[in-house]
Structure 1
Amino acid sequence: MVDVSQHELVPEHTVLDEADVEEVLEDYDIERTELPKIRRKDPALPDDAELGDVVQIVRDSRTTDKAVVYRLVIE
């Protein structure tokens, strides 16, 4: 079986700890439930991602070099 998360085109996914989550939510002045969602079954998610976790995704970008987005893990 192929591990999709290791493919070169899949951006880096990192589960944030609670301190980092609080900082992100404060920076954007939002609640956790207002974050865009990602399903737990998404093959790009790290194995340690659990429901309710916030995942940081770092993508390559032509305009800003790196684009950072956040997703809430849902069922």
Structure 2
Amino acid sequence: MVDVSEHELVPEHNVLDDDAVEDVLDEYDIKRTDLPKIKRTDAAVPTEAEVGDVVEIVRDSRTTDRAVVYRLVVE
């Protein structure tokens, strides 16, 4: 079976630790539930991610070199 997360077109996905999540939430003055969602079954989500975790997605960008977005893992 092919590991989709290793494909060159899939951006880097990292599970954030609790301290990093708090930093992100404080920076944007939001609650965890205000984050956009990503399903736990999404092939790009790291295998260690659990429902309720926050995933950092780092994409290449033509204008900013790299774009960082955050998603809340849901069922």
Could you state the TM-score of these two structures normalised by the residue count of structure 1? 0.99
Runs of 4+ more than 6 Å apart: none
Q: Does 1:15 align with 2:15?
A: yes
**1:54 match:** 54
Q: Classify the secondary structure of the residue corresponding to 1:52.
A: coil
Question: What CA deviation, in whole Å up to 9, does each residue of 1:43-62 have, x standing for no partner?
Answer: 00111000000000000000
**1:28 match:** 28
Question: What CA deviation, in whole Å up to 9, does each residue of 1:20-40 have, x standing for no partner?
Answer: 000000000000000000000
Unaligned runs of 5+ in 2: none
Could you state the TM-score of these two structures normalised by the residue count of structure 2? 0.99
The residue type equivalent to 1:58 in the other structure is V
User: 1:3 deviation in Å?
Assistant: 0.4
Percent sequence identity over aligned pairs:
73
**RMSD in angstroms over aligned alpha carbons?**
0.2
**1:70 match:** 70
User: 1:64 deviation in Å?
Assistant: 0.2
C-alpha distance in 2 between matches for 1:71 and 1:19: 16
Unaligned runs of 5+ in 1: none
* Residues 32-43 of structure 1 mapped to structure 2, 5 A cutoff: 32-43=32-43
